[in-house]
Amino acid sequence: MDETFDVNYKGPRDTALAFWPQLKKNARVVNVSSQLSKSARNELSAERRQQFDDADSIEKLESVLAQYRAAYVTGPSGAKSQGFANSAYGVSKLAINVLTRVLAKKGEKDGIVVNAACPGWCQTDMTAGSGAPLTSTEGGSRIAFVATDPAAQKVSGAFWENRAVSAN
């Protein structure tokens, strides 16, 4: 679980915060998320879902993630028994979506646009033999769309899926 969160949440968080002071008006930040963030959110108890929804700062988000980590000590069933989703990957991507929303609010006054985007189910070493329908180039083009398309400049704090804003 720690490696999953290091790669999927802490890496993007630390990178965004390190470069934040250099971002200029109309800059775009695109975090890579996953459709599994939606699945994880749907698995949360109402109370846990509210905690993620109410996280309006990195500190509040990380407080919820600390509770998840403590619940996960006994494994996925421990997390599930305490109202969390049992997929560390899904929760890490849900955390990216919340971080995206927090950073979008932070960048609002400076015109910095922050979004999360799902590349789709892509053929990678990790998905070998699974029947993933998209090449990595096709998935990458979905991220590039959110980074460069003028329509995506008008929306900040959203989760994009297949070149469109998606409910999360």
Q: What is the CATH number of the domain that holds 83?
A: 3.40.50.720
Letter for the amino acid at 110?
A: D
User: What are the residue numbers of the active site?
Assistant: 89
Query: How many other C-beta atoms can be found within 10 angstroms of the C-beta atom of residue 28?
Result: 17
| Ordered per-residue pLDDT tens for the chain, 168 residues | 889 999 999 999 999 999 999 999 889 999 999 999 999 999 999 999 999 999 999 999 999 999 999 999 888 899 999 999 999 999 999 999 999 999 999 999 999 999 999 987 677 777 777 777 777 888 889 999 999 999 898 999 999 998 889 976
- As a whole number of Å, the end-to-end CA separation of the chain is 22
The structural domain count of the chain equals 1
Tokens of 31: 């975090």
Q: Record the pTM.
A: 0.92
Output the pLDDT for position 163: 87
In the sheet that 113-118 helps form, which strands lie side by side, from edge to edge? 28-32, 113-118, 159-161, 164-166
Q: Where in the sequence is the domain holding 52, given as residue range(s)?
A: 2-166
Q: Are 114 and 100 in contact (CB under 8 A)?
A: yes
